[in-house]
Amino acid sequence: MTAPGPLPRIGPTTVPRWLKASCTVLIGTLVVWVWWPLGSASVTPPEITAAARPVPTPLVAALDVDAFRAPVWVAPPPVSAAAPPPPPPPPLKLQLLAIMREGTAYKAALYDPDSDRLLVVGSGDRVSGQTVDGVAADRVSLRDERGVRTLSLREGGGP
C-alpha cells in the first residue's frame, strides 16, 4: 500500500496582514477602554430636616377581648345514633306452587309447611294469619300487620 499524495489546497490558507493588524488594534483599544478608570462622581446628598408635623392623637376605643376568645374551629357535635331500623320480617313459610285461572279470577296453590297442607286461595282468603291481597298471573300478594309481601313464580320453572 502506498502513501497518499499531498492533499489539495482549497481556498486561502493564510490570514491577510491587514486583517491581523485590524484585529490587534481593535482588541488593544478595548483593553485600554475597559481598564481606564472612570472619573470620580461626586454626589451631594440632600439635607433632610425634620419638619414639624402634627402628632396624631391616638384613637381610644374599647377593645372587645371576648372576640378573641371565640373558637377558631368547632367540631360538629357527634351524630346521635338513630334507633336501628326494625329487623326485617321473617321470610314467609308459604310456598307458591302454581297459579290457576278460573274464569276471570286467578287462584294460587300454596304449600303451608307448618300444617303440611296444600291450599288453593283467592283474593280475600285468610291463610296462616295473613290475608291474600291479590293474585296475578305470576304472583300472589299477602297482607299482615307488617305490610304486604309478594310471592312470585320462578322464571324457567327450575328449582
CATH of the domain at 148: 2.30.30.830
Per-residue model confidence (pLDDT) at position 108: 93
| CA dist., res. 71 & res. 40, Å (int) | 64
Length of the chain: 159
- Asked if the structure places residue 37 within a domain, the reply is no
pLDDT digits (tens, 9 = 90+) for 9-30: 776 677 889 999 999 999 999 9
- Asked if the structure places residue 119 within a domain, the reply is yes
Q: Is 124 left (phi over 0), alpha (psi -120 to 50) or beta?
A: left
Asked if residue 106 lies in contact with residue 122, where contact means CB atoms within 8 angstroms, the answer is: yes
- Asked if the structure places residue 138 within a domain, the reply is yes
pLDDT digits (tens, 9 = 90+) for 58-117: 777 777 788 788 777 888 888 888 888 888 877 888 889 999 998 888 999 999 888 888
- Asked if the structure places residue 89 within a domain, the reply is no
Q: Which domain holds residue 103?
A: 95-153
pLDDT beyond 80 at 36: yes
Q: Report, as an integer, the average pLDDT of 41-53.
A: 80
Per-residue model confidence (pLDDT) at position 157: 52
Per-residue model confidence (pLDDT) at position 29: 95
Residue that wins the pLDDT comparison between 120 and 155: 120
Per-residue model confidence (pLDDT) at position 120: 92
Please count the structural domains in the chain.
1
- Asked if the structure places residue 131 within a domain, the reply is yes
Q: Which helix (H) or strand (E) holds 101?
A: strand 95-102
- Asked if the structure places residue 77 within a domain, the reply is no
| Three-state secondary structure call for residue 34 | helix
- Asked if the structure places residue 137 within a domain, the reply is yes
- Write down the mean pLDDT value for the chain: 83
Radius of gyration of the chain (CA): 55
Per-residue model confidence (pLDDT) at position 99: 92
- Asked if the structure places residue 106 within a domain, the reply is yes
Residue matched to cell numbers 304449600: 111
